[in-house]
Structure 1
Amino acid sequence: MANEEDCRIALDRVAERLGEVDPDQLARHVVERTISCRIPDLDVAYMTRLHAGGLDKFEPTADPGSAQVRLTVGSDDLVALANDALNPAKAWAAGRLKIEASIFDLLRLRKLL
């Protein structure tokens, strides 16, 4: 099981990779949203804000349910996703990544992954 520091590094890696997306593509597909990532096996959660400039820094939160897009993923799977060792679509289909969001947000996120 990955530890909390491993997960923080993984989240930072995800944010960095999103920052590498072509700014025009990002602007076309991104609508400002709050995003939470709950890691149940560590009993921690983080929140950030997605906007045309990318992702803000992930910060710990006690209320991940208040985010507009809510992710739930195990610590090992989060690290694997961040390292491109696990495909997000396959992780979602297998139930290893749970995403709660509107259908429109899901479609937008899909175009960025």
Structure 2
Amino acid sequence: MANSAECLAALNQLSENLGNAQGDVRSAAAMDRSLTCWITDLDLTFSGRLRDGRIQDITQAPGKPGERAQIRLALTGDDLVALVGGRINFASAWASGRVKLEAGIRDLLQLRKLL
């Protein structure tokens, strides 16, 4: 089971990946939105801001997200590490219920470019 340090490292790597992206992925990541990632098996929430193509100002707190972010993810720590590491595909993980993604319709339309 991935621990909190591994999950934070995965989110930092995701931020780097987004920052180095090109084309449609870069434009999708250029949104300015609040973001939470609830690690269900650790009952830990990482919060930050998707801004300028990166996830910025990442903090962590115990439990479920206290505030409703504009983009909300929920998954296990192992799934987060595997997604960022390219060992599982986001679309299949989402379709099977391993990853939950909630956002407004406009944000979902932009985020689909990341998939």
Common topology (TM > 0.5): yes
CA distance in 1, matches of 2:76, 2:110: 23
Q: Taking every aligned residue pair, what percent have the same amino acid on both sides?
A: 43
CA distance in 1, matches of 2:38, 2:28: 27
Gap runs ≥5 in structure 1: none
The match for 2:76 is 74
For residues 9-61 of structure 1, the C-alpha deviation after alignment (integer angstroms, 9 at most, x for no partner) is: 11111111001012786346633110100001101001111123422142114
Where in structure 1 do 4 or more consecutive aligned residues deviate above 3 Å?
Answer: 27-30
State the SS of the aligned residue for 1:56. strand
State the SS of the aligned residue for 2:17. helix
CA distance in 2, matches of 1:25, 1:75: 24
The match for 1:37 is 37
Aligned residues: 113
Gap runs ≥5 in structure 2: none
CA distance in 1, matches of 2:23, 2:94: 26
Contact 1:30 1:108 in 2 (8 A): no
Q: In the TM superposition, what is the alpha-carbon distance from 1:87 to its structure 2 partner?
A: 0.6
What TM-score do the two structures reach when normalised by structure 2?
0.86
The match for 1:107 is 109
Moved more, 54-63 or 68-77: 54-63
Letter in 1 for 2:35: I
**Compared with structure 1, are the counterparts of its residues 104 and 85 closer, same or farther at alpha carbon in structure 2 (3 Å cutoff)?**
same
RMSD: 2.1
Contact 1:26 1:52 in 2 (8 A): no
What TM-score do the two structures reach when normalised by structure 1?
0.87
Q: In the TM superposition, what is the alpha-carbon distance from 1:108 to its structure 2 partner?
A: 0.6
Letter in 1 for 2:69: A
CA distance in 2, matches of 1:90, 1:12: 23
CA distance in 2, matches of 1:93, 1:49: 25
Moved more, 67-76 or 22-31: 22-31
